[in-house]
Amino acid sequence: MNTKPYILSLSMCGIAALIGEDRGRIERMTTALRHRGPDGQGIHVGGGVSLGHARLAILDPTPDGDQPMWNDSRSAVIVFNGEIYNFRQLIEKEHLTCRTRTDTEVLLKLYERYGMDFLPSLRGMFAFVLFDTRTRTLFAARDGSGIKPLYLTRIGGSLALASEVRALMQGLPQRPAINFASLSAYLRLQYVPGPETLCEGIESMPPGTVLRYTEGKESHWTFQAGADVPTIRSKQEFRERFPAIMQEAVDAHLVSDKPVGVFLSGGMDSSIVLHHMAKASSEPVRTFTVRFEATEAEGAARFNRDADLALLTAKHYGTHHQELLLTAQMERELYFETTRALDLPNADSVSVAQYALARLAKKSVDVVLCGAGGDELFGGYPRYRIARILSMIRHIPVSLRKIGARMTGLPPDVLAMAPGAALAERLLARPVDECRSIVRGDWFTPDTAKDILQNHFDTVESDDPVRRMMEVDRSLWLVDESLRLSDAVTMGSGLESRIPFLDTNIIAWSHATPSSWHVGLKRTKALLKDTYKPILPPHLFSLDKASFYPPLAKWIRRECAPLIEEALHQARIQELFNVEVLRHLHQAHIRHEQYALHPLQAVLQLGNWFESVYDA
């Protein structure tokens, strides 16, 4: 009997694969992922495929877990990025005999037994490529929530896959053209929505998707996680049972033989995660928060409200709490490095703060948990309340709805809308005129963002307008903005991020409840708040919550102003944008005549991406 302890895989890594035997190309692709795995590389070339794995050995420094990993008969080989939290249970349930006791080997064993039909049994985050030498078939799969990234290209006539866009670019004979439809969507949404990327011919693999490639033919199918959907008869039953479900999910995400911490905000979701971590730990939990440099006159109390609430929560649980003070100078110094880590541009103003916080956390932990996903699953965003209001007044003539503008606090044009893609575009996308005013030439297509949103709404199988908006956010914004950013900044710092709220059991509990339990005419996230109000510290419910964002609008008027000017001098920015209009916008922003953070930040981020990734 194998008495080795259970260990997790060398999960903090990057993977690459291509059809064809090309050692030089796969080595270039894998080397481009070394920031995700600087401790070594594993390469396999043969049998008609090339596989690469960049390793960061924090969980198993022995050769047992090296990748690419073969099964015992050498009929299947895999490169894997992720964590399978129930791999121990799968070993016992399936009576698997494993020589390494890693979750990577469990995937190989399950494939031997079930083919790719084992995917619904997995509980975790993953992206992997597996090659069957007997049938000469390559499979690729990505987890259902899209926590782990996977990109692919068919440029040059052969399939290639990798954890990052830049790795795929290293394997191409020439730089791909700019995807102007995707660039148009980026300008409006402030991030790059999948499956397309800013590079023509490179796309992200959709969450919950399997790719099969054999004999030159490619096919795709989707899979659903196998979690049982519970029967929840009342809100009271949810309040009584859910904390135990959440505790079990957090416990599963704590499996590690290295230190684990949590990114703590002043909000409820990360506080819920901390609460359950504290219950499971005999030692003080390590918590990490960002505070921003600002004077009282600049609104320090407003910008640091989130950090103040997080500090109160940390004191309540007796954590080992560390705060990062992010200064304007740090923002300026880390901006280029952060953009390079992001792999695709993301104009979210918190990206540098999250990258700096990940670097701080890495000094004392190797794994962090966070509260992402709670808002999408349990109705936390104000836009869900707007959708609820509009669904309630849908039978009232538009001419009469405007009377309620003052009562609801909604703009008249929003009151005239129905829940759906047009409403999401109105609430989430930058105005078309703003984008059109800064571009040069005719490449900008304003309807791209609307079409992407509509496609996502069309795929949601629900008649509930609020649930549809929640699910669109979970499949679009959460995947391509929030999770992509989180994975990039943590992996770029040698840190692994885990998301307990996206555990398959938690998702099942969300789907087992009607949206009306979560979102009302006046309240958002109502059921989760009611569930945890008797459990969490009272300040989370008695004090006003503030959003987490830095004073970047102020900083680009002063210390970070040179970043804008440097971007406007870049050749690609000058080719694509009206630099004089942008310069005028920046000056108007500096003089407080016009608030222009969003277009300026979008162009700044894009300019840094061209330099650090696209042209690097």
What number is the average pLDDT over the span 397-418? 81
Instruction: List, in sequence order, every beta strand (DSSP E) within 302-440.
Output: 320-326, 367-369
pLDDT tier, 101 (very low <50, low <70, confident <90, very high otherwise):
confident
Q: What is the pLDDT of residue 4?
A: 45
All structural domains of the chain, each given as residue ranges with its CATH number in brackets, are 13-222 (3.60.20.10), 235-377+478-542 (3.40.50.620), 381-475 (no CATH), 556-616 (no CATH)
| Residue 299 pLDDT level (bands cut at 50, 70, 90) | confident
CA distance 30 to 17: 9
Query: Residue 12: which pLDDT band, with cuts at 50, 70 and 90?
Result: low
**462-496: per-residue pLDDT in tens?**
999 999 999 999 999 999 999 999 999 999 998 99
The overall average pLDDT reported for the chain is 93
Q: How far is CA 215 from CA 26, 50, 136, in A?
A: 20, 16, 8
98 is catalytic: no
Looking at residue 403, what is its pLDDT? 73
**pLDDT reading at 58 higher than 60:** no
Percent with pLDDT over 90 in the chain: 85
What per-residue confidence (pLDDT) applies to 576? 98
Backbone angles phi, psi at 216, to 5 degrees: 80, 0
The one catalytic residue in 13, 199, 370, 435 is 13
pLDDT tens, position by position, 150-205? 999 999 889 999 999 999 999 999 999 999 999 999 999 999 999 999 999 999 99
What is the DSSP secondary-structure string of 182-227?
A: HHHHHHHHSB--SSB-SBTTEEEPPTTEEEEEETTEEEEEE----P
Average pLDDT over residues 118-138: 97
Edge-first strand order for the sheet with 367-369 is 320-326, 286-292, 260-263, 367-369, 496-498
Q: What is the pLDDT of residue 3?
A: 40
Of 94, 39, 27, 45, nearest in space to 65 by CA: 39
Omega before 599 within 30 of 0, i.e. cis: no
Instruction: Count the neighbouring beta carbons within 10 Å of the beta carbon of residue 244.
Output: 10
Sign of the torsion angle spanned by Cα atoms 168, 170, 173, 178 = positive
- Region 66-81: what's the mean pLDDT? 95
- What is the pLDDT, as a whole number, of residue 298? 81
How many helical (H) and strand (E) elements, i.e. helices and strands, does the chain have?
A: 30, 17
In terms of C-beta density within 10 A (0-12 exposed, 13-18 middle, 19 or more buried), how is residue 607 classed?
buried
- Cα–Cα–Cα angle for 552, 556, 557, rounded to 5 degrees: 120
Collapsing DSSP states into helix, strand and coil, what is residue 357?
helix
| Confidence class for position 138, pLDDT limits 50, 70, 90 | very high
Lowest model confidence (mean pLDDT) among 220-229, 392-401, 531-540: 392-401
| Bond from prior residue into 419 cis (ω within 30 degrees of 0) | no
Looking up tokens 């320090």 gives 300
Mean pLDDT of 3-13: 53
Using 50, 70 and 90 to split pLDDT, how confident is the model at 409? Answer: confident
Model confidence at 100, pLDDT cuts 50, 70, 90, reads confident
pLDDT value, residue 38: 67
Dihedrals phi, psi of 186, to nearest 5 degrees:
-60, -45
DSSP 522-549: S-SSHHHHHHHTTTS-THHHHS------
Q: Return the DSSP state at 142.
A: E
| 560 has a pLDDT exceeding 80 | yes
What pLDDT does residue 62 have?
62
Q: Is the pLDDT of residue 10 over 80?
A: no
Q: Which residues of 350-491 form beta strands (DSSP E)?
A: 367-369
**What is the C-alpha separation between 509 and 235, in angstroms, rounded?**
12
Q: Which of 469, 267, 261 is nearest to 372 (CA)?
A: 267
Question: Measured between alpha carbons, how far is 224 from 208 in angstroms, rounded to an integer?
Answer: 7
Is the pLDDT assigned to residue 395 strictly greater than 90?
no
Q: Starting at the edge strand that comes first in sequence, how are the strands of the sheet with 40-46 ordered?
A: 40-46, 49-55, 13-19, 160-162, 151-153, 202-204
Q: Residue 603 pLDDT more than 50?
A: yes
pLDDT of residue 490: 95
pLDDT in tens, 327-380: 999 999 999 999 999 999 999 999 999 999 999 999 999 999 999 999 999 999
Highest mean pLDDT: which range of 217-226, 308-317, 389-398: 308-317
- CA–CA separation, 529 vs 467, rounded Å? 18
Give CA separation, 262 vs 32, 308, 413, 495, in Å. 29, 16, 41, 12
pLDDT of residue 60 exceeding 60: no
- Burial class of residue 93, CB neighbours in 10 A (0-12, 13-18, 19+): exposed
249 and 279 Cβ atoms separated by less than 8 Å: no
> Residue 1 pLDDT more than 50?
no
Alpha carbon distance 71, 65 (integer Å)? 12
